[in-house]
Structure 1
Amino acid sequence: MESGSPCQLLLAAVSNRFILSGGAFIYKLGRHCFRILHLDDTAAEEAHIDTRNIYTQLYGHAPRQPFYVDFIHYEKGILSLLLEGYDSSWCRLVVCDVQHRCILDSESLPGRNSIFVRNDEHDLYYGIIVDDPVSKWRWSLRGFNIKSRQWGHKFLLDVGFFGDRLGENVCFEIIDGVLYGASSSCSPLGPVMYDLQRSYYHWFRMRTSDSSTLQHLSGSFKGGNAVKRHAFDIMKLSQDEATGDVSFYLACAQIPYGRTERCCYRQVLVPAEHLNNFGQEGDWAITIPSMSCHVGDVYSPRFETICANDYDPRTDSFIDLVNEPSTTTRKHFRLRTRVRPQRRPVRSASPAWAFHGDVEWQQEEAIACLWPPEVKRGHDESTMGMLFNLMTPISEPVKKVRRDFDGRVFVFSPVSEAGLHGTIVLVSFDPALRIPGLRKADGTKPQSVPQKLLELPDMPELGNEEWMAPAKPFHLILGAADGGRAAGYDFTH
C-alpha cells in the first residue's frame, strides 16, 4: 500500500451497489440477487444468493408484493440483510450464516435511519436512529448472541452521542470483543470549516457479551496540531497493529482550496494498557495522548481532478482516484490511483519496473505515487494501454464515482451522465491474494484456474428450499465471453 503499486487489477462486476466487508466483495445482481466473493488467499468461487427464497423461508410463502433488499454487513461468515417494503410499511433485519447456509433470526425494525451492523464470531449488534422527546433523535442499539440465537434488550446511547452519517461524523466497530462508537462535533452536514481546538467528540465502549459495561465518555481535541480549519468527511475507528491503541481518525477527503493542507487527525481513545480496564473514567483517562496529525497535500490545481478518495489508518495513507486528460488511450480522460503515505515507502518488494507508479515528490520524505505510470518508450506499450483501459472502463465523461476501501482492496465504479449500471474495478494491494485466471503482466502464463471452478454455472438455478449456491466469478465469465481478452492482471512475482 505504501508503495502505491497494486498487486492485482481486474474488472470485478457490473452493478450499481457494492461494498467491501469482512474481507469479502459483495455486489448486487438484479433486483433480488447478489454475489459474495471472498478475498482471502484464493478468491475462487462466488456465493450466489437469491433473497426471494430467503423471504419464502421467513414468511412461509413466496413474495406477494414487491420488496427491496440490501446488504448491510458481512463478517466472520455472518451476513446481515435489510428487507424493506416499497411502501415502507415494514422493515426487517435478517441475520444469515453463509457458511452453514441457514437463517439465524430476523428482527422487525421501526425504520432504517442510518442503520449499522457490526459483529464478531460471538455477538452481533445493530443500531438505528429513533425519535426521542428530549433530543429529537437518539441512537438505539440491540445485541444478538450468534451461538444461542437470543436477542438482548434494547438500549439508548447518551444524548450527547450525536452524528447520523456513518463513516463521516459517526462510526462503530467491534475490536477484540468490545463495541466502540465515536462521534465528532465536526459535522460534514454543510460546507463549513471547523476549528478542531473548539471542537469535541463523544464515544462509548462496552463488552459485547455484557451491555452493563457500557461507558459513555467525551473529550476535546488537544495538541499543537489542532490549529487548522477543515471540512471533515471521513471518520474511522481502528486499532494500531504495532501499539494496540484504539483510535479514531478524522480526515478531510478533498484537498481544500488556498494554501491549506489536507490533513488526517488521530485521537487515541484507549491506550493498549487500558483495553481491559472497565473501571471508572478517572482510572485511565488522564493517560490518553494528545491528538496527532498526518499533514497531507497542499492544494494545487491538479487536485481538482480527484473524483474519489479515502484514508487508510493501517499505513497512514491517503488514497485518491484521479481523473485526468489521457495521453495513452483513445479516450479523452483516464483514471489513476494516487497514494500519499505519511512515511516514505520501501520499494524493494515492489513489482517489476513496468508497473511502478509515477512518483511525485512532496515535502520532506513523503511522496505521492500515481498508478498506472506513464508509458515509457521502449517498454510494453500495449500492456500499459490495457491497464489504462481496465482502470477507465467507460468512454463518457465521469459524473461521479462509487467506491469502497478496506485497507487491502480499493473498488470503484465510474458513473457517466446516463447513470447506468457501472463496471466495478477492483485494485488489490495485498500480495498474498491469488485470483485465478488473471494474466501476468510480464507475459508469463496466467494464474491457473481449477477445473471445478470452470465447471461452476454462470447463473445457478436454486430450488425453493435453497437461497445460496456457488457460481463462477465474474472476471472468468468476462474472459470467456470476449475470446480470452484479459479481464485483469496479476503483478506479483
Structure 2
Amino acid sequence: MWTSKKLVVIPQRTSGLQRLPYEIIAYIVKYLDIDDVFHLSLCSRHFQYLVREERFCKTLINIKASYTIEADEARRSGQFARALRRVAKRRQALSQASPYVIGIVGLADSYEYIHGVLCYIIEARPQRWLRILDLHGSASHEMVVDIPALIREAVPRSAKSRKYKFRVLYHSNGITSCLFSFALPNTENWLLIFQAEEKKIVAQIPLESTAKIFVRNNKDFLYFGTHSEEGADGFKYWVLTGFRIEDRSLFPRKMRLTSVVGYDIGTTVCFEIIDNYFYVLSNQTNFELRETDWISYYHCLRFPLDDPDRNRAQVMHKDDSWRRKHAEGPIDDRWGFLKLDKDEASGVINIIESRKEWLTGKSGSRRTYYMTEVCFNENLELADEDNHPAVIPPVIMVGGRSIRPIRVGNNAVDSDVPVRQPENVHPGDDSSTTPMFTRTQTHLRSYQRCSNTYLDLVDDTSSGSTGRHLRLRTGHRKPKPKPESTPNALPTLEVSPVSDEKIDLDDIIKQCYHPNEIYFWPPERHQNQELLNKVYEILNPPGYLGSITAFSDERSIVYATGEDVNGLKVLIYVSFDPAARLAGMLREGYILGEKISAQYDEMTGQKGYGSGAEAGGSTKHVKDIMAEDEGKGKVETIGDQSRGALPSYIANPPAPEAVSEDCKSWSWLEKAMHQDLTGKLFTFAH
C-alpha cells in the first residue's frame, strides 16, 4: 500500500544585513577596509556585487586604493571590480606569506630591481649584455642592450680602453642610467642616460666624483648626486645636479645639501622623486656623536623638480619631525632601514623607519617600525632649525579620560617631547615572542604599511634542515574593534588615577591591536611533500649557495643567490600579485603560509605557540576563491604550466627584431630569459 507524503519546504531566512538597500550598504562599506569588503563579499552570494559591480567598485577604489598600480590600470581599462579583488588578494597574500608565483627569472653577474623592473647584466666577454625585464607588467620579452656597442656610440674615445666597469644605477619611465668607468690612462667616469626601447642615448655626462652616486628620475627630470664635496668643518656633504630630459640640458647650478647628515642610502639617508618633488630625508642631525642626553629629529626637505633652489626648499618643522629620545635606549644600526612611502588610499607620504632597540625597562632587544607623516608648512622656507619653537605634547583620550603625557619607550617624557600614536608604532618581534634570527640569517628586511606587515627573508637552518633553508617570514597585526559606546575612542585602559602619567605606550598598543600574526613560508610540513620539495629547490637552487642580495616592494621580491664556476648568480622571483603571469613561470596554488603566532592568555599573562590550523590558520585561501576572475581557469601548481603558454588577457608582444651582423643597433627586443629556463630549474648544478 502506497502512502503519499507531503514535501514541506522551509523558507530560508535572509539576515537583516542582506535586506538592507543598496544605498545603505554603500554607506557602510565606506567605513571598511578593502580587505573587510572583500571578505564580506565571500560571506554570501547576496554580497557578491560588492566586488563585481563596476560602479560600486570604482567608488571603493577611488576612496581606498586610488594611488595603486591596480587603480591606474583600472582607469585605463575600466575594470574596477577586478582591480578591487586584486588589491585585496595581494594584501592578504603578503600579510600571510602566501605568494602566488615563484620561479627563476634569469642568471646574472649583477642586477638591480627598481619599481618592478629587473635590470641585470651578463658578463660573457667579449660580449656583455644588459637585459631589462618588466616584472610588474609580466613581460614575456625583454630589452637587450649590447654594452660594448652602447659605450662605443656614447663615448667613442673609450674604444681604445680594453678594461672598463659598467653598472646600472636607476631605471624609471623607460629611462636607464648607468655608471661607465674606464682608464686611458687616467680614470674617467661617465653617467650614461639612455632609452633602450627607442634606441636613443639621452645624455653622456662626465662625472667629477662617483662617491655614493645615485640617480632618480621621472619622465621629465633627472637628478644625480654624490657624497663628495667637503665643507669648512671637514665633513663631506651631498651635492645634487639636475637634468632636464626634454631639452637635454643640465641645470646651471648644483644644489649643495650642507644641512643633510648621513651617507648610507636606505639606512641613514633617503632620496626620492614623488609627485614632481624631490624629497631628501635623513634620520641624523649631527655629524658628531654627543655623549649627553639628546633628542633626535628627522631632517626632511623637498623642492620642485623644475626649480632646484635651496633657498626655496621646504623643510619639515620640528613639531612634526620628532624621531626619538636618546634615553629610550641604544640602537643596533645593523638592522635599521629608512624609506619614504606613499599611502595607497590617501596619497599621504610617510617616513618609515625600522629600529632594533634595547628599550629601557625591557629585558632584551626588539625591532619596531615607526611611521611619521611628512607635512610641510607652505609659508615656511628653509630656516635655522634652532629657531623652531618647542613641541607641546598633545592630549590623548583613553577610555574617555585625558592623559598627558604618555610614556614613550618606557621612559618618562619631557615636556618638549610629543606622544607617539599607536597606529604609527608597530612593535615587531623579540626573543620572548617568536624564534629569533641573527643578522647574517636575515637577508631581507622590509615593511609594507598598506597591509601593516613586516617581511623578512630568513635562513631558517634552526628547523633541522641541512644546508641553506630560505623562507619568507611576515608579521601582521590587526586592530581590535572599538567600543560601540565610543566609536572614536581608543579601547578603555584600566589604570588608577595615581598612575595616569606613567602609562606605557606598549599597553595602549596591546589594547588597540591584536598580537602580531607570524607566518612562515614554505611550511615545514605539507600533505603534498613532493610539491613542497620542489618549492624549496627553487628557493634554494642546488649548487648556488653563495651570498644573497635581495630587493622588495609592495607586491614582489627578487633576490640573487650563489655563484657558479662562471660567476653567475641565480635570480629568484617571488610575487604576491594574483595577476602576475610570467610566461614559463611556475604557479604555486596550494601551499599557504604556516601561522606561528604568540597567543596571549589574558588570565595568566603567559604566551603559547601554535601553527597551522591550530593557531587559526585557514585550510583555504582567498587565492583559490573566484580564481577565474584573474584569468586562471584553474589553480596551477608547480610544473603544471606549459612552456611559453600565455594567459589570454596579456597582449601579444611584438615579434623580436632580427639583428643582423651588419646592424649597428645597440638594443633590441628578445624573448625573456625566464622562458628558456623552464624545465631547467633543477639542473643548474649539473
Q: Is TM more than 0.5 here?
A: yes
Which residue pairs with 2:276 in the alignment?
177
Which residue pairs with 2:521 in the alignment?
371
2:538 is equivalent to residue 390 of structure 1: yes
Contact 1:309 1:321 in 2 (8 A): yes
C-alpha distance in 2 between matches for 1:195 and 1:244: 39
Which residue pairs with 1:324 in the alignment?
460
Say which is worse superposed, 439-448 or 71-80, in terms of deviation.
Answer: 439-448
Aligned partner of 1:337 among 458, 464, 472: 472
Say which is worse superposed, 126-135 or 310-319, in terms of deviation.
Answer: 310-319
- Structure 1 residue 193, shift from structure 2 partner: 13
C-alpha distance in 2 between matches for 1:226 and 1:464: 66
2:227 is equivalent to residue 122 of structure 1: no
Contact 1:438 1:446 in 2 (8 A): no
C-alpha distance in 1 between matches for 2:369 and 2:251: 37
Considering Cα pairs closer than 8 Å and 6+ residues apart, tell me whether 1 or 2 has the greater RCO: 1
2:671 is equivalent to residue 472 of structure 1: yes
Instruction: Give the direction of change, closer, same or farther, for the CA distance of 1:138–1:306 in structure 2 (3 Å limit).
Output: same
2:116 is equivalent to residue 23 of structure 1: yes
SS at match of 2:537: helix
The alignment-based identity, stated in percent, is 21
Amino acid at match of 2:104: L
Which residue pairs with 2:347 in the alignment?
244
**Greater strand proportion:** 1
Structure 1: any 5+ residue segments left out of the alignment? 345-362, 488-493
Cα deviation digits, residues 169-209 of structure 1 (max 9, x gap) = 1111111100001112289x99x999996323322200001
- Structure 1 residue 99, shift from structure 2 partner: 3.2
2:179 is equivalent to residue 82 of structure 1: yes
Instruction: Give the direction of change, closer, same or farther, for the CA distance of 1:325–1:181 in structure 2 (3 Å limit).
Output: same
Say which is worse superposed, 229-238 or 43-52, in terms of deviation.
Answer: 229-238
Which residue pairs with 1:205 in the alignment?
302
SS at match of 1:40: coil
Which residue pairs with 2:102 in the alignment?
9
Instruction: Give the direction of change, closer, same or farther, for the CA distance of 1:89–1:106 in structure 2 (3 Å limit).
Output: same
- Structure 1 residue 427, shift from structure 2 partner: 0.8
Aligned partner of 1:262 among 367, 380, 387: 367
TM-score, reference length from structure 2: 0.59
Aligned partner of 2:331 among 230, 239, 253: 230
C-alpha distance in 1 between matches for 2:357 and 2:533: 29
C-alpha distance in 1 between matches for 2:549 and 2:291: 26
TM-score, reference length from structure 1: 0.80
Cα deviation digits, residues 101-158 of structure 1 (max 9, x gap) = 2011121111211111111111111111222241432211111111121211232334
SS at match of 2:208: coil
Residues matched between the structures, number? 456
Which residue pairs with 2:194 in the alignment?
96
- Structure 1 residue 399, shift from structure 2 partner: 5.6
Amino acid at match of 1:374: E
Amino acid at match of 1:210: D
- Structure 1 residue 293, shift from structure 2 partner: 1.9
C-alpha distance in 1 between matches for 2:293 and 2:524: 39
Amino acid at match of 1:436: A
User: Which structure is larger by alpha-carbon Rg, 1 or 2?
Assistant: 2
Aligned partner of 1:303 among 426, 437, 451: 437
Which residue pairs with 2:38 in the alignment?
none
- Structure 1 residue 79, shift from structure 2 partner: 0.6
Contact 1:20 1:406 in 2 (8 A): no
Instruction: Give the direction of change, closer, same or farther, for the CA distance of 1:473–1:460 in structure 2 (3 Å limit).
Output: farther
Cα deviation digits, residues 256-279 of structure 1 (max 9, x gap) = 9962211122222227xx6xx365
Amino acid at match of 2:101: Q
Which residue pairs with 2:208 in the alignment?
110
- Structure 1 residue 97, shift from structure 2 partner: 1.7
SS at match of 2:548: strand
Amino acid at match of 2:295: R
- Structure 1 residue 456, shift from structure 2 partner: 5.4
Contact 1:403 1:413 in 2 (8 A): yes
Cα deviation digits, residues 42-76 of structure 1 (max 9, x gap) = 32111111221121112346721121111100001
Instruction: Give the direction of change, closer, same or farther, for the CA distance of 1:160–1:83 in structure 2 (3 Å limit).
Output: same
SS at match of 1:390: helix
C-alpha distance in 1 between matches for 2:662 and 2:271: 37
Contact 1:10 1:426 in 2 (8 A): yes
Which residue pairs with 1:35 in the alignment?
131
CA RMSD of aligned residues (A): 4.0
C-alpha distance in 2 between matches for 1:428 and 1:94: 31
Contact 1:435 1:447 in 2 (8 A): no
- Structure 1 residue 25, shift from structure 2 partner: 0.9
- Structure 1 residue 380, shift from structure 2 partner: 2.1
C-alpha distance in 2 between matches for 1:15 and 1:199: 41
Say which is worse superposed, 170-179 or 52-61, in terms of deviation.
Answer: 52-61
Structure 2: any 5+ residue segments left out of the alignment? 1-93, 395-417, 480-512, 589-635
Contact 1:138 1:156 in 2 (8 A): no
Instruction: Give the direction of change, closer, same or farther, for the CA distance of 1:235–1:106 in structure 2 (3 Å limit).
Output: same
2:563 is equivalent to residue 435 of structure 1: no
Amino acid at match of 2:427: V
SS at match of 1:476: helix
C-alpha distance in 1 between matches for 2:672 and 2:559: 18
Contact 1:439 1:445 in 2 (8 A): yes
Instruction: Give the direction of change, closer, same or farther, for the CA distance of 1:19–1:71 in structure 2 (3 Å limit).
Output: same
Instruction: Give the direction of change, closer, same or farther, for the CA distance of 1:403–1:243 in structure 2 (3 Å limit).
Output: same
Contact 2:442 2:456 in 1 (8 A): yes
Aligned residue runs from structure 1 range 65-76, under 5 A? 65=161, 66-76=163-173
Which residue pairs with 2:558 in the alignment?
411
Cα deviation digits, residues 348-396 of structure 1 (max 9, x gap) = xxxxxxxxxxxxxxx93421211112232xx322111100100111447
